[in-house]
Copies of this chain bind each other. A is one copy, B any other.
């Protein structure tokens, strides 16, 4: 016997929540609407498991998220397993193993839950939903553009307003800095200054690159203006290649989605851990959390790949609230086929489980806006 109070049964671990009506329905509906858009573009759904052996899940592109993973021991084999903190590395594994012989481009989609041992710097949630696509095989601006275009189409399908796609080229700043023989401490200090967009520190630390890096820092903004700044700079060939690819990707995206809102920050690299080309972060005005992110990387066996992951529970907060089914109370004596007809017409029918003396009052008590009577329905005030 102890004097401890009983645990509060409503208490969940930090970062884990119950979604209640109507949010759980809205999130699921949003997730499926996204998956329909992806399926309509030929992306085939795969469903890897929630956990895997640690040494396969957290190797390759999974190594970047290893420190966020919960570990647990398999009682059968005594090997360590990990709950997935991210689904993309699992898709890369499937593409390189069970679907190694599938024709390329390989278009795969997925939707599911991830679990983080501690919320990342940018969030407190430890259970997150992901819905995404991976386009494996091609390495071209058109492939990058397809990923962004499908993201835009998916968000439009959900009715999310004021979406912007922020493009970056994470390898660009490191390629530029490789032109100069910084000592390691200088290099690190300069990276940090770039990371926090501290123009004064960049100017002080960058030596011969100060003019170019300063211009690049100020280039961030609408895509057209940023690309104009990039085009006017005197860049070494290794950097010009990256800049040209970024410009080609922007052109391919706007060719597919002329009305898209694109911004470019050419030297942003924070948070891109295993990416090798154009990356994108998706925002909606008024939402501080990103709606999704993605970009180009090398999949297992060094195969080119790009992908985009959207966050259904964040989208839920950005999308307009959709009316659920209108609820109709069905007393026990209504015309038997009426319930089926109403459900086919999109209503939710709520069956009486026995006779009630005041059907209208009972309907209201159960949150019904309508009451079935005879072979039809009447609206309640």
Interface of A toward B, CB cutoff 8 Å: 7-14, 16-25, 27-28, 32, 35, 39-42, 44-53, 55-56, 59, 70-72, 74-77, 79, 81, 90, 93-94, 96-99, 103, 105, 107-108, 110-113, 115, 117-118, 127, 138, 140, 142-143, 146, 300, 324-325, 327, 343, 347-351, 353-354, 365-367
Contact = CB atoms under 8 A, between A and B. Distances in A.
Which 10 A-B residue pairings sit nearest by Cβ, starting from the closest?
Answer: A21-B44, A42-B350, A16-B49, A19-B47, A10-B97, A24-B47, A40-B343, A142-B353, A24-B45, A25-B45
24 contacts: A16-B49, A18-B49, A19-B47, A20-B99, A23-B47, A24-B46, A25-B45, A28-B47, A39-B325, A40-B325, A41-B350, A42-B327, A42-B350, A42-B351, A49-B127, A50-B50, A50-B113, A50-B115, A51-B115, A72-B72, A75-B117, A107-B350, A140-B354, A146-B351
**Number of this chain's copies in the complex:** 2
A59 B8 CA distance: 12
A97 B9 contact: yes
Chain B CB within 10 Å — which of A44, A90, A110, A327 has the most? A44
A20 B98 contact: yes
Contact of A138 (B55, B74, B349, B353): B353
B56 A348 contact: no
Contacts of A70: 72
Given A14-B76, A21-B45, A138-B353, 4 more contacts: A25-B45, A32-B32, A41-B351, A51-B127
B325 A118 contact: no
Contacts of A348: 39-42
